[in-house]
Structure 1
């Protein structure tokens, strides 16, 4: 029998708070989504003035990062490099702004952000993920 770490409520809350703090520090209106390793939504917060669509995009980015076990930017770069077939994958949101959340070398979830420039979304996501380290 194998065992694995999972994101609990306490960890999810800490990650969300770290991402929120980074966004607020920079006056960025974003949505922040945290998913487990299977891409299932654990937390979603849309900050004041963030577009309603940001919630859907942040969740898609997080799901992509969790299932792909890598930053969502990897998929954006693939599409930009000509691998447009990734656009047909229903589970993939090929946009920068999500990073996996790791514990002991294993991906246990991901955080996705949407609402500002892609690199700024990624900055907020990294700040949240760093709260678990």
Structure 2
């Protein structure tokens, strides 16, 4: 039988706090979503001023990163690179801003962020994911 790490309430809170701190440091109104390794929502925080659609997009970015076990930007790059057939894949968050949370080489969850420019979303998401690395 295999054993794996999972995100608990303490870790979800830590990820959200780190991502929120990065967003607020830069004065970015974003939504931050934390999902488990299957893409199921565990925590969501929509900062003041973020458009409601940000909540939907952040969750989908987190789900995409979980299902693919990689940053959601990989899919955006594939499509932008001409692999348009990938648009038919069952992923709604194929935009930069979803990143995996990796512990002991395994994806145990993801962080999705939406609300500002794509690279800024990714910056906030990476800050959240890095919160568990020490």
TM-score tier after normalising by the smaller chain length: over 0.9
Cα distance in 2 for residues equivalent to 1:70 and 1:29: 25
RMSD over aligned Cα, in angstroms? Answer: 0.8
Q: Across the two proteins, how many residue pairs are aligned to each other?
A: 133
2:125 corresponds to 1:117? no
Aligned to 1:56, the other structure's residue is in SS state helix
Contact 1:32 1:55 in 2 (8 A): yes
**What's the CA shift for 1:89?**
2.0
Structure 1 runs of 4+ off > 3 angstroms? none
**What's the CA shift for 1:22?**
0.3
- Give the gaps of 5 or more residues in structure 1: none
2:38 corresponds to 1:41? no
When normalised by structure 2's length, the TM-score is: 0.97
Aligned to 1:84: 84
When normalised by structure 1's length, the TM-score is: 0.98
Aligned to 1:52: 52
- Give the gaps of 5 or more residues in structure 2: none
The residue correspondences of 1:1-133 to structure 2 (distance < 5 A) are 1-133=1-133
